[in-house]
């Protein structure tokens, strides 16, 4: 398990991502101002003061095992990308699949590690250094949901407004398979929902605009 000797903004954001908390939820967990969390996203190199270092240590130590494992994976990928190595090493990226079947889109319900409840998202997974984003998209969708899909279009990329992780978005076409929860550790449920109902499950201000545009087509 990775141990952080000195927390910086980037490590704090990775812990937030591992816990799957919004800026507000993470700030509440730490007992600090939301603007402090936002500052970490804006300046990953910033080093929090001693009291906050201790708060981050405590939150990390008390995190559930699944969250600690996610954090270790994120930190390991980050360190691997920043360390000297062969050409092609890359920063942490996540592949996100917007899988369309007729007028429906595929969503997964993530298992939150705190008492705030559940969160609905598009199928997603970490793109390992050197791997193709398209391959990760198709593989992670199958592993999470049992659904076979094919890449139709790259919708773009961005730093996620909540997690600060680099996200690659792909529009995918459904091929085959029954949607099932194939990852009971991470997820609660998998479901096809109408395109025009997605914003009932995912806050509209967190959805990537090109994804919204796709969802609005033919609805």
Confidence (pLDDT) at 2: 52
At 203 the pLDDT is 86
pLDDT at 71: 87
d(CA 46, CA 44): 6
CB 172 within 8 A of CB 217: no
- Is the Cβ–Cβ distance between 129 and 89 less than 8 Å? yes
Residue 171: predicted pLDDT: 96
Domain boundaries, the chain: 9-80, 93-217
CATH number for the region 93-217 comes to 3.90.79.10
What pLDDT is recorded for position 158? 87
pLDDT at 150: 95
Alpha-carbon distance of 88 to 131, in angstroms, equals 9
Q: Spell out the per-residue pLDDT of the chain, length 219, in tens.
A: 456 888 988 899 999 988 888 888 999 999 998 888 888 887 888 888 888 999 999 999 888 888 888 888 888 776 655 444 443 334 567 899 999 999 999 999 887 654 445 688 999 888 887 788 999 999 999 988 999 999 999 999 888 776 667 889 999 999 999 999 887 777 888 999 999 899 999 888 888 899 988 888 755
Query: Looking at residue 79, what is its pLDDT?
Result: 63
Q: What's the pLDDT at 147?
A: 94
Q: Are 103 and 218 in contact (CB under 8 A)?
A: yes
3-state secondary structure the chain: CCCCCCCCHHHHHHHHHHHCCCHHHHHHHHCCCHHHHHHHHHCCCCCCCHHHHHHHHHHHHHCCHHHHHHHHHHHHHHHHHHCCCCCCCCCCEEEEEEEEECCEEEEEEEECCCCCCEEEECCEEEECCCCCHHHHHHHHHHHHHCCEEEEEEEEEEEECCCCCCEEEEEEEEEEECCCCCCCCCCEEEEEEEEHHHHHHCCCHHHCCHHHHHHHHCCC
Which residue in 180, 66, 168 sits closest to 127, CA to CA?
168
* pLDDT score recorded for residue 112: 61
């Amino acid at each position: 398990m990775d141990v952080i000797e000195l927390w910086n903004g980037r490590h704090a954001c990775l812990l937030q991502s591992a816990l799957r908390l919004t800026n507000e939820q993470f700030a509440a967990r730490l007992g600090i101002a939301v603007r402090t969390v936002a500052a970490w996203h804006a300046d990953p190199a910033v080093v929090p003061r001693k009291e906050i270092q201790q708060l981050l240590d405590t939150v990390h130590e008390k995190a559930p095992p699944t969250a600690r494992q996610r954090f270790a994976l994120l930190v390991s990928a980050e360190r691997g990308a920043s360390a000297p190595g062969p050409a092609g090493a890359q920063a942490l990226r996540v592949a996100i699949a917007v899988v369309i079947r007729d007028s429906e889109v595929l969503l997964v319900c993530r298992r939150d590690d705190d008492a705030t409840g559940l969160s609905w998202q598009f199928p997603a997974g970490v793109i390992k250094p050197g791997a193709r984003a398209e391959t990760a998209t198709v593989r992670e969708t199958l592993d999470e949901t049992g659904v076979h899909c094919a890449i139709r279009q790259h919708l773009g990329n961005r730093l996620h407004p909540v997690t600060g992780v680099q996200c690659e978005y792909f529009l995918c076409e459904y091929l085959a398979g029954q949607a099932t929860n194939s990852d009971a550790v991470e997820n609660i449920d998998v479901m096809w929902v109408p395109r025009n109902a997605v914003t009932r499950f995912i806050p509209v201000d967190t959805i990537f605009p090109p994804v919204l545009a796709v969802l609005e087509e033919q609805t």
